[in-house]
């Protein structure tokens, strides 16, 4: 998916609540609420998440729109890994020859973010959708991993980047999580979710270590994970 397409989707999600509440209908739309616990993993990292979701349908009567849900929520993410590389985060350095890196033996980053979600109700029990963190903050222990530049190594003092802002791909700031998911509701109250996740985890050096071709203190790990979740609906 192109950056323009992702940007358009994010923009529509931000505008959706205003569109929903500006519609003139005598009866208010029924909101759906759930809480969900999730766990995602790949070969070198994992993410534990806990979130509150609230969503609304686009229409009560129109055939296609009544199956589309737009919503928002609040999510806690706990990122952990072993011996992973964080690379230069600034867009002009990211995935280029100017990229420096930090080798972190056991990073831990905790985030609280507001997220946006869109879902399509395939059947009364089965939903497919997408959610993405929009903004929030991160915290966690500081560390002393290894900064690597042009084959030279030195110890760095780092902390989780404090603020998280969605700005699409390399322009993202901080630690963010997104999910492409399928959720199945087994009973009126309980459901399960299978997800394909993309996790951004970011740390900031206390001192300026990368100076060429410009100053950079932010370093990022990007991972794709497979996740499972359990949800309680109310």
pLDDT in tens, 38-47: 999 999 999 9
* pTM across the whole model: 0.85
H-assigned helices in 39-123: none
- pLDDT of 26 > 80? The answer is no
pLDDT in tens, 169-215: 889 999 999 999 999 999 999 999 999 999 999 999 999 999 988 89
- pLDDT of 132 > 90? The answer is yes
- Phi first, then psi: what are they for 119, rounded to 5°? -140, 155
pLDDT score, position 8: 52
- pLDDT of 55 > 80? The answer is yes
Comparing 16-25, 88-97, 125-134, the range with the smallest average pLDDT is 16-25
Percent of residues, the chain, with pLDDT higher than 70: 88
Pick the CATH number of 3-233 from 2.60.40, 2.10.10, 2.40.160, 3.30.70: 2.40.160
Higher pLDDT, 133 or 67: 133
pLDDT score, position 73: 96
Q: In the predicted model, what is the mean pLDDT of residues 152-161?
A: 96
Candidates 118, 116, 39, 12; CA nearest to 73 is: 116
If 0-12 CB within 10 Å is exposed, 13-18 middle and 19+ buried, where does residue 149 land? Answer: middle
- Per the document, the length of the chain is 234
Written in H, E and C, the secondary structure of 195-209 is EEEEEEEEEEECCCC
**pLDDT band at residue 25 under the 50/70/90 scheme:** very low
pLDDT score, position 24: 38
Place of tokens 């350095």: 93
Distance between CA atoms of 192 and 175, rounded to whole angstroms?
A: 25
């Amino acid at each position: 998916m192109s950056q323009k397409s992702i940007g358009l989707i994010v923009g529509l999600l931000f505008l959706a609540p205003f569109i929903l509440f500006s519609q003139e209908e005598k009866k208010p739309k029924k909101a759906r609420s759930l809480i969900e616990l999730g766990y995602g993993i790949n070969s070198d990292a994992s993410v534990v998440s806990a979130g509150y979701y609230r969503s609304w349908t686009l229409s009560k009567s129109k055939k296609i729109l009544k199956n589309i849900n737009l919503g928002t929520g609040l999510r806690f993410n706990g990122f952990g890994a072993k011996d992973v590389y964080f690379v230069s985060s600034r867009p002009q350095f990211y995935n280029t020859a100017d990229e420096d890196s930090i080798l972190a033996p056991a990073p831990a980053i905790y985030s609280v973010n507001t997220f946006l979600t869109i879902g399509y109700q395939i059947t009364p029990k089965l939903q497919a959708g997408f959610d993405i963190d929009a903004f929030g903050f991160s915290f966690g222990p500081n560390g002393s991993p290894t900064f690597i530049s042009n084959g030279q190594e030195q110890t760095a003092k780092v902390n989780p980047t404090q603020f998280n802002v969605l700005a699409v791909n390399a322009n993202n700031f901080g630690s963010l999580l997104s999910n492409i998911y399928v959720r199945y509701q087994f009973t009126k109250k309980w459901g399960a979710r299978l997800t394909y996740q993309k996790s951004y985890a970011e740390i900031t050096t206390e001192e300026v270590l990368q100076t060429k071709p410009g100053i950079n203190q932010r370093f990022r790990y990007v991972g794709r994970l497979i996740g499972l979740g359990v949800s309680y609906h109310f």
